[in-house]
Amino acid sequence: MRLRTGKLPPELLKRMLKHKGAPDQRVLLGPKVGEDAALVKLGPYTLVLKTDPVTYASDMIGWYAVNVNANDVATRGAEPAWFQAAILLPEGSDEALVEDIFKQISEAAKTLDIAVTGGHTEVTPGIDRPIVVGDMHGVLVGSTPVLTSAAEAGDALVLTKGAGIEGTALIAREKRKELLEVFDKRFVDRAAKYLTDPGLSVVPEARTALQFGVHSMHDPTEGGVSMGVREMAEASGKSFELWADEISIGPETNRICAHYSIDPLGLLGSGALLATFKQGDAEAYVSALKKDGIRASVVGKVAAKKGVSRLVRGGRSTPLSSSERDEVLKVL
């Protein structure tokens, strides 16, 4: 089978994850479809480990790498603490590019109180843009980790900020010249600033979720909100109902997606957090976030058993369509 760009198909990934090296009793959670990060017990501490590459972006790639990896550690109920990166540069790169990426990594890490502990940098033949593969470690807060697979029947599904945040910023930065032929400069600038406003980090809302009895958390990345919900359903053995009319989509996201005929629910989703709670806890969580200036809403529910997840739009229910191939690839 020839593979397309994007994530591996879930069925293929499941088969590959049987190859997991030597057994180790300290590994509490190893590789598993839908789970954001691994768990390793070391004495009184539980370490949370995550590796994630940034391959689409060339602008602000170091900033992306720190934040997307920190998000996945935070969704485990942990504090991101240590970051390393393998930085691969195309032939012809100069010192200014190297320093720019290093500065971006440092500044993003400082913002989240994360130490940069090492990594590797090289000029690599056969690539046409920088690639940064991040590796984030953190320490569990409390004694019980939060798992993507822990969604419970009857849970309310909450989405913070909105759909397509990362994808909007990426397209605005990578396709700026093209977009300026259609939209005015202020519009494109606002879209590009989605990187920091509303921003890619979900660490603050993941911390807050721990105060409201969160059952499960997931960071939607490639494939956007739709793929994120599908991964939660797969991991938990449940089906979900996603209410499209309740999902916040920024005006810049809406207009850019309409321009390129792409689906905002399938667009790179870092910056949003998917989380499930008991109904009352979900409403309290949403209220608490709004007091902190973070937009959030209840956008669905968890069904009692595994089945076909559904998308409800305008009162009409259809099977939830999702793809491991992100909508951004249609543009870039």
Structure tokens at 13: 């990934």
SS3 212: helix
**How far is it, in rounded angstroms, from Cα 308 to Cα 82?**
39
The answer to whether residue 57 scores a pLDDT higher than 80 is: no
The answer to whether residue 209 scores a pLDDT higher than 90 is: yes
The answer to whether residue 58 scores a pLDDT higher than 80 is: no
**How far is it, in rounded angstroms, from Cα 28 to Cα 210?**
20
CB-based contact 323:223 (threshold 8 Å): yes
More confident residue, 6 or 138: 138
Across the range 17-23, mean pLDDT stands at 94
pLDDT at 150: 96
More confident residue, 9 or 279: 279
Across the range 99-107, mean pLDDT stands at 97
Q: Per-residue confidence at 295, pLDDT binned at 50, 70, 90?
A: very high
The answer to whether residue 324 scores a pLDDT higher than 90 is: no
Across the range 265-282, mean pLDDT stands at 97
- Sheet architecture: strand order including 274-277: 216-218, 274-277, 156-160, 296-302, 240-243, 310-313, 316-319
**How far is it, in rounded angstroms, from Cα 120 to Cα 308?**
43
pLDDT at 238: 94
Across the range 16-22, mean pLDDT stands at 94
Minimum mean pLDDT range among 105-114, 148-157, 159-168, 323-332: 323-332
Query: For residue 215, what is the DSSP state?
Result: -
219-273 pLDDT, tens digit each: 999 999 999 999 999 999 999 999 999 999 999 999 999 999 999 999 999 999 9
pLDDT at 258: 98
Structure tokens at 276: 């499930």
pLDDT at 264: 97
pLDDT at 304: 78
Q: Per-residue confidence at 6, pLDDT binned at 50, 70, 90?
A: confident
Q: Which H or E element spans position 78?
A: strand 78-90
Q: Which fold has domain 148-330?
A: Phosphoribosyl-aminoimidazole Synthetase; Chain A, domain 2 (3.90.650)
**How far is it, in rounded angstroms, from Cα 332 to Cα 320?**
25
The CATH code that applies to domain 23-140 is 3.30.1330.10
pLDDT at 294: 97
Q: What share of the chain has pLDDT > 70, as a percent?
A: 100
pLDDT at 143: 83
**How far is it, in rounded angstroms, from Cα 311 to Cα 19?**
34
| Average pLDDT in the chain | 95
145-180 pLDDT, tens digit each: 999 999 999 999 999 999 999 999 999 999 999 999
pLDDT at 9: 86
Across the range 321-325, mean pLDDT stands at 83
Domain ranges of the chain: 23-140, 148-330
pLDDT at 11: 86
CB-based contact 216:236 (threshold 8 Å): yes
**How far is it, in rounded angstroms, from Cα 22 to Cα 130?**
33
Between the alpha carbon of residue 302 and those of residues 106, 213, 230, 272, the distances in Å are 39, 16, 12, 18
Instruction: Name every residue whose Cβ is closer than 8 Å to that of residue 271 and which is 6 or more positions away in sequence.
Output: 161, 162, 165, 166, 194, 198, 199, 200, 201, 202
